[in-house]
């Protein structure tokens, strides 16, 4: 039974967190707010739950979801030998809109999809979700939408797209959306920016210090205006894709300082599998799933009673 909790109400907030915790423990899906858009969450260690994320969004295993964590200490149990520069980034920029891609511990009993041994980790700057994460531990979270549709900024928008796939909706008002998280690949000797987002390149460099080389892709040239574009056509630029969606652009770029060539898609090179973390470039729009008839917990007020 799908339940919606108005988290602006203190009582419903507490009930919603408990309901979400119980649903996740049983391998079901939860829609929750983040500091950017609404996310679709499953227990990161529940294989069936993560598979349900793929099914609900209409996507394949080649676009694995990132993992949200409750605090920086959690990273030690998830990542292998994280470099010192990654620890500096986490210390200074979490909680916030920074996703780090690291090598995952080989002993972990999870299956996030085709990750090539890596995982994208982020600690969101959202009080409600951090409270839930403190009770559940790491959650696999993708944006709360069907692949190809805009990321949901409200729980209602998420419901129209995901409907009965989700057991619990935590409605905490409209999210800002817009600029996604910045993604930094921390699996190499030098950090590599996979996507510039809410945290600027300049801020990343400031945190790293002068002694560390930050590999940064060149900013794309603005596309020339063409007559008659469809304003609702799917975007294919990393600057415009919604937060939380995974995908690849199939581009590569050359770092003149190191002489290295980097691929921006996991299909380009085995050692560059990480562009998929954080953004789903919507190649083909899909029809959203109609919302189910409202089914509320008998003890939870209906929307008209709020």
In a domain, 156, yes or no: yes
Bridge partners, 255 (sequence order): 260
Sorted by sequence, the CB contacts under 8 Å of residue 24 that are 6+ apart come out as 30, 41, 42, 43, 46, 49, 136, 139
Q: Containing domain of residue 208, as a range?
A: 3-217+235-280
> Minimal CA–CA distance to 121: which of 59, 160, 76?
76
> Minimal CA–CA distance to 267: which of 110, 60, 56, 58?
60
Q: How many CA atoms lie within 13 A of 300 on its CB side?
A: 24
In a domain, 226, yes or no: no
- Both structure tokens of 50: 């993560």
pLDDT of residue 305: 43
Mean pLDDT in order along the chain per 10 residues (306 residues)? 97 99 98 96 98 97 96 96 96 97 93 94 98 98 95 96 97 88 96 95 97 87 47 28 36 38 30 35 30 46 43
CATH number for the domain spanning 23: value is 3.90.870.10
Cis peptide before 96 (omega within 30 of 0): no
How many domains in the chain?
1
In a domain, 50, yes or no: yes
Distance separating alpha carbons of residues 102 and 114, to the nearest angstrom: 14
In a domain, 108, yes or no: yes
Spatial contact of 68 and 154, defined as CB atoms under 8 Å apart: no
> 33 — phi, psi (to 5°)?
-80, 150
Spatial contact of 105 and 77, defined as CB atoms under 8 Å apart: yes
Sorted by sequence, the CB contacts under 8 Å of residue 269 that are 6+ apart come out as 263
pLDDT of residue 222: 63
In a domain, 173, yes or no: yes
In a domain, 228, yes or no: no
pLDDT of residue 224: 54
In a domain, 305, yes or no: no
- Both structure tokens of 253: 């770029």
In a domain, 186, yes or no: yes
Spatial contact of 132 and 31, defined as CB atoms under 8 Å apart: no
């Amino acid at each position: 039974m799908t339940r919606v909790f108005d988290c602006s109400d203190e009582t419903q907030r507490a009930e919603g967190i408990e309901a979400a915790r119980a649903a996740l423990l049983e391998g079901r899906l939860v829609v929750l707010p983040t500091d950017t858009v609404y996310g679709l969450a499953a227990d990161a260690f529940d294989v069936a739950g993560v598979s349900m994320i793929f099914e609900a969004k209409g996507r394949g295993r080649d676009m694995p979801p990132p993992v949200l964590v409750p605090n920086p200490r959690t990273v030690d149990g998830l990542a292998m030998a994280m470099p010192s520069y990654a620890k500096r980034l986490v210390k200074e920029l979490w909680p916030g809109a920074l996703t780090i891609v690291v090598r995952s511990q080989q002993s972990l009993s999870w299956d996030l999809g085709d990750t090539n041994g890596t995982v994208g980790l982020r600690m969101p700057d959202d009080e409600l979700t951090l409270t839930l994460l403190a009770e559940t531990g790491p959650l696999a979270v993708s944006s709360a939408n069907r692949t190809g549709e805009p990321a949901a900024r409200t729980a209602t928008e998420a419901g129209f797209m995901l409907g009965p796939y989700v057991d619990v909706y935590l409605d905490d008002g409209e999210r800002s959306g817009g600029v996604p998280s910045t993604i930094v690949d921390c699996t190499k000797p030098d950090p590599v920016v996979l996507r510039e987002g809410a945290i600027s390149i300049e801020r990343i460099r400031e945190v790293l210090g002068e002694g560390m080389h930050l590999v940064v892709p060149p900013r794309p040239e603005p596309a020339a205006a063409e007559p008659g574009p469809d304003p609702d056509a799917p975007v294919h630029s990393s600057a415009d894709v919604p937060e939380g969606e995974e995908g690849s652009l199939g581009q590569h770029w050359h770092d003149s300082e190191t002489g290295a060539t980097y691929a921006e898609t996991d299909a380009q090179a085995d050692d560059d599998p990480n562009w998929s973390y954080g953004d789903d470039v919507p190649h083909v729009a899909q029809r959203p799933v109609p919302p189910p008839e409202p089914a509320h917990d008998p003890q939870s007020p209906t929307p008209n009673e709020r």
